[in-house]
A and B are shown apart, each in its own frame.
Chain A
């Protein structure tokens, strides 16, 4: 760019444009807000991780020796609430999406920068509330807050936890709204829909789900709190209410919410596979539209969480049938990514290793989802570790793998420094091994009948549980390790050029880190997405 003659450290960029705590807490720059999110979400990831560690330690032995049943209930509830609401849902959109959406479409900022900052503050307020709940004893309802237990029996902390999830929901709504408007209104000249990177398409679809689904969980939590406080009876069978109504309203959001989590990750994978195969994504249009298809179909399947809850068997048939359809757009993506790599110049940098991890683990997670969509099988494995393993393959094997891949890929853009490549590869490998060792035994455990949410189990399940706990330890190392070397790289990492991967996309055409308003010259787009045939190879020393 115009300032390229200066050494990178002396250029004015979004990081050094202003200094001081106030300049961060009052910033409206989407890139700085992304950093704020990164700090707070990483914090909650490790809170959730500590919960996971305690759960796995308790399950090391068949007896309930580390914690008692009551404490254990609080542990898995805390793990679920923190990981779902405060990590998985915001992690990719709020961090990488916030940072990259304006850059990738050639805009100076998101459409509503102040609302973007408000989103972060809502997240922090909700997080603080949740921390308060955790410190003062926690809740034991499970992250799903099912009635009538939550409204008639559980500790009143449910009110506070529900409020935290409610506030966090508005953070999510505003982020989604901001993205949709930005993608419609702020694209650079020439950035047509068919030129939009798939990362943007994925975020667009995610935002649709955020905007359409989250308000329903918000009102549901309001009704839950009202019921708890004023004993309204809307969900209480004793008062003529129907607890399944709560489950319907809850899952109307919370099932699509899993697509809030996975869709942005799929967007990352598209970027990674295109760059490290040096090819345009095969079937670009199909991959783009499959994101939107997943977002819409995701709203048609929610009651598959309730097959054994006492709902109508006829409705169960419909929901089971519809659930199979969601496999189609997901499969389209996986097949097209695979086809992209075919005859591509595939290289094996850290982000690509994470992408490979994603492909394998997401495929297993997705296919076991089809087992669960099948009514007969689902009745056998409902509320067993099979379900736990299934959604961890999608959520951890899918989302976290993709997030870490994306984080490494855009780390030079975000910070201006390269991460140490060999350590990155090692961490990706440790994570992959640790993950499979943790969760594959849980498929078997669930299939042979170990129920979830119990703090003790018959001795014959111990071997598989020990394997799982050992895997969790390795997985933990696989997550702590990047934290260490990424922080190290902030100071000692090799200075990254503007485009260390020779990657396509507007975000690579500005400096690293980008200036406050993203581009020194307003970009005009006259090239297709993923025009890798016109780009050089990745520099050899990488």
Chain B
């Protein structure tokens, strides 16, 4: 019975303790489990797109490889690094919250937001390039590269478009999660500045941190799957 709670009311009633919990610890464990389950739903949510990716990558591998070569791997790698660093600053932010260093917490949150914004900026540049190159699915789509290793064969337009459809769907959904994450972090900055958190209560910092790391993990897979299909 690791998850049943103590029968006694906490003697020191914390202002953040909500009416239906007995102790801060129970409340904290509850919120944490809720967040983890939410992340499970997020895995399945992205999972649908990974399934589509997998099916068409296997079906149209050569076209996917050629289309993948047309996206800027340098920017992709740079963005991966940026996002990993933002994950690191987020971990540091949670650490500061644990230790009660509120000022440093704000600093690390701001850094996380900075790196997150940088990621989105690079992403916007990449999208822009694709738009200019007519690689955005739709009526204007055109992809004239040759198949890798087969200079006589042009890539199938529809199959290349499929790659970009999935590319935009996955990275777009990922970017949307980043935007939401930035909003949540802005809330954390304000709440921290107002003194809402202490060493006894920093659950929102921890949970939003989990969310941010999850978004990072999704990108860790997206980078090789989308950018590195074939770079030989």
Complex CA gap A187/B56 in Å reads 46
By secondary structure, the A interface counts as: helix
Q: Which residues does chain A contribute within 8 Å of B138, judged by CB atoms?
A: 230-231
Asked if A239 and B161 make an inter-chain contact with CB atoms under 8 angstroms apart, the answer reads yes
The 0/1 profile, CB within 8 Å of A marked 1, for residues 91-113 of chain B is 00000000000000000000000
Asked whether any CB of chain B lies closer than 8 Å to the CB of A325, the reply is no
Complex CA gap A216/B37 in Å reads 15
Shortest distance in angstroms between A533's beta carbon and chain B's nearest beta carbon? 26
Which residues in window 5-45 of B have CB below 8 A to A? 5, 7, 18-20, 26, 29-30, 33-34, 37-38, 40-45
Asked if B48 and A249 make an inter-chain contact with CB atoms under 8 angstroms apart, the answer reads yes
Asked if A216 and B47 make an inter-chain contact with CB atoms under 8 angstroms apart, the answer reads yes
Most buried by B among A109, A185, A216, A230: A185
Complex CA gap A499/B62 in Å reads 69
The 0/1 profile, CB within 8 Å of A marked 1, for residues 46-57 of chain B is 111101100110
The closest CB in chain A to the CB of B22 belongs to A522
The closest CB in chain B to the CB of A219 belongs to B48
The closest CB in chain B to the CB of A102 belongs to B20
The 0/1 profile, CB within 8 Å of B marked 1, for residues 179-192 of chain A is 01100111101011
Asked whether any CB of chain B lies closer than 8 Å to the CB of A241, the reply is yes
Asked whether any CB of chain B lies closer than 8 Å to the CB of A226, the reply is yes
Asked whether any CB of chain A lies closer than 8 Å to the CB of B137, the reply is yes
Asked whether any CB of chain A lies closer than 8 Å to the CB of B3, the reply is yes
Complex CA gap A309/B194 in Å reads 59
Q: A112-B34, A211-B41, A223-B169 are in contact. Are A192 and B1 (CB under 8 A)?
A: yes
Shortest distance in angstroms between B99's beta carbon and chain A's nearest beta carbon? 26
Shortest distance in angstroms between B129's beta carbon and chain A's nearest beta carbon? 19
Asked if A232 and B33 make an inter-chain contact with CB atoms under 8 angstroms apart, the answer reads no
Q: A239-B158, A249-B48 are in contact. Are A185 and B20 (CB under 8 A)?
A: no
Q: Which residues does chain A contribute within 8 Å of B18, judged by CB atoms?
A: 113
The closest CB in chain B to the CB of A223 belongs to B169
Asked if A181 and B20 make an inter-chain contact with CB atoms under 8 angstroms apart, the answer reads no
Asked if A218 and B45 make an inter-chain contact with CB atoms under 8 angstroms apart, the answer reads yes
Q: Which residues does chain A contribute within 8 Å of B19, judged by CB atoms?
A: 108-109, 517
Asked whether any CB of chain B lies closer than 8 Å to the CB of A111, the reply is yes
Which residues in window 164-196 of B have CB below 8 A to A? 165-166, 169, 173
Q: Which residues does chain A contribute within 8 Å of B40, judged by CB atoms?
A: 211-212
Asked if B45 and A219 make an inter-chain contact with CB atoms under 8 angstroms apart, the answer reads yes
The closest CB in chain A to the CB of B18 belongs to A113
The 0/1 profile, CB within 8 Å of B marked 1, for residues 185-213 of chain A is 11101011000000000000000000111
Most buried by A among B1, B7, B37, B159: B37
Asked if B34 and A240 make an inter-chain contact with CB atoms under 8 angstroms apart, the answer reads no
Complex CA gap A405/B43 in Å reads 37
Asked if B162 and A239 make an inter-chain contact with CB atoms under 8 angstroms apart, the answer reads yes
Q: Which residues does chain B contribute within 8 Å of A191, judged by CB atoms?
A: 4
Asked if B42 and A215 make an inter-chain contact with CB atoms under 8 angstroms apart, the answer reads yes
Complex CA gap A198/B169 in Å reads 42
Shortest distance in angstroms between B171's beta carbon and chain A's nearest beta carbon? 13
Asked if A213 and B44 make an inter-chain contact with CB atoms under 8 angstroms apart, the answer reads yes
Asked if B34 and A177 make an inter-chain contact with CB atoms under 8 angstroms apart, the answer reads yes
Shortest distance in angstroms between B60's beta carbon and chain A's nearest beta carbon? 7
Which residue of B3, B7, B139, B162 contacts A234 across the interface (Cβ within 8 Å)?
B162
Q: A219-B46, A233-B162 are in contact. Are A248 and B30 (CB under 8 A)?
A: no
Which residue of B20, B34, B165 contacts A233 across the interface (Cβ within 8 Å)?
B165
Asked whether any CB of chain A lies closer than 8 Å to the CB of B142, the reply is no
Which residue of B1, B44, B60 contacts A212 across the interface (Cβ within 8 Å)?
B44
Which residue of B3, B7, B38, B156 contacts A177 across the interface (Cβ within 8 Å)?
B38
Which residues in window 214-230 of A have CB below 8 A to B? 214-216, 218-220, 222-223, 226, 230
Complex CA gap A191/B7 in Å reads 12
Complex CA gap A240/B156 in Å reads 9
Complex CA gap A187/B5 in Å reads 8
Asked if A185 and B3 make an inter-chain contact with CB atoms under 8 angstroms apart, the answer reads yes
Q: Which residues does chain A contribute within 8 Å of B44, judged by CB atoms?
A: 212-213, 215-216
The closest CB in chain B to the CB of A237 belongs to B158
Complex CA gap A211/B42 in Å reads 9
Asked if A232 and B137 make an inter-chain contact with CB atoms under 8 angstroms apart, the answer reads yes
Complex CA gap A233/B137 in Å reads 9
Asked if A173 and B41 make an inter-chain contact with CB atoms under 8 angstroms apart, the answer reads yes
Complex CA gap A304/B10 in Å reads 53
Which residue of A181, A185, A240 contacts B162 across the interface (Cβ within 8 Å)?
A240
Asked if B45 and A524 make an inter-chain contact with CB atoms under 8 angstroms apart, the answer reads no
Which residue of A185, A211, A220, A226 contacts B5 across the interface (Cβ within 8 Å)?
A185
The closest CB in chain A to the CB of B51 belongs to A249
Which residues in window 123-141 of B have CB below 8 A to A? 137-139
Q: Which residues does chain B contribute within 8 Å of A192, judged by CB atoms?
A: 1, 4
Complex CA gap A112/B32 in Å reads 12
Complex CA gap A180/B38 in Å reads 11
Complex CA gap A219/B42 in Å reads 10
Asked if B156 and A215 make an inter-chain contact with CB atoms under 8 angstroms apart, the answer reads no
Complex CA gap A150/B138 in Å reads 18
Asked whether any CB of chain B lies closer than 8 Å to the CB of A245, the reply is yes
Q: Which residues does chain A contribute within 8 Å of B162, judged by CB atoms?
A: 233-234, 239-241
Q: Which residues does chain B contribute within 8 Å of A245, judged by CB atoms?
A: 51-52, 55
Q: Which residues does chain A contribute within 8 Å of B169, judged by CB atoms?
A: 222-223, 226, 232, 234
Complex CA gap A527/B208 in Å reads 40
Asked whether any CB of chain B lies closer than 8 Å to the CB of A52, the reply is no
The 0/1 profile, CB within 8 Å of A marked 1, for residues 143-167 of chain B is 0000000000000101101100110
Shortest distance in angstroms between A365's beta carbon and chain B's nearest beta carbon? 28
Shortest distance in angstroms between A510's beta carbon and chain B's nearest beta carbon? 15
Complex CA gap A185/B33 in Å reads 9
Asked whether any CB of chain B lies closer than 8 Å to the CB of A528, the reply is no
The closest CB in chain B to the CB of A241 belongs to B162
Which residues in window 223-264 of A have CB below 8 A to B? 223, 226, 230-234, 239-242, 245, 248-249, 252
Q: Which residues does chain B contribute within 8 Å of A249, judged by CB atoms?
A: 48, 51-52
Shortest distance in angstroms between B123's beta carbon and chain A's nearest beta carbon? 18
The 8 closest A-B pairs by CB, nearest first: A240-B158, A219-B48, A215-B45, A108-B20, A232-B165, A215-B44, A109-B20, A185-B30
Given contacts A113-B18, A177-B34, A189-B7, 13 further A-B contacts (CB under 8 A): A108-B20, A184-B33, A185-B3, A186-B30, A192-B1, A213-B44, A215-B47, A219-B49, A233-B158, A234-B52, A234-B165, A234-B166, A242-B55
Cross-chain pairs A/B with CB under 8 angstroms, 16 sampled: A108-B20, A111-B34, A185-B26, A192-B1, A212-B41, A213-B44, A215-B42, A215-B43, A215-B47, A219-B49, A231-B138, A231-B139, A232-B161, A239-B158, A242-B55, A252-B48
Q: Which residues of B contact A (CB under 8 A)?
A: 1, 3-5, 7, 18-20, 26, 29-30, 33-34, 37-38, 40-49, 51-52, 55-56, 59-60, 137-139, 156, 158-159, 161-162, 165-166, 169, 173
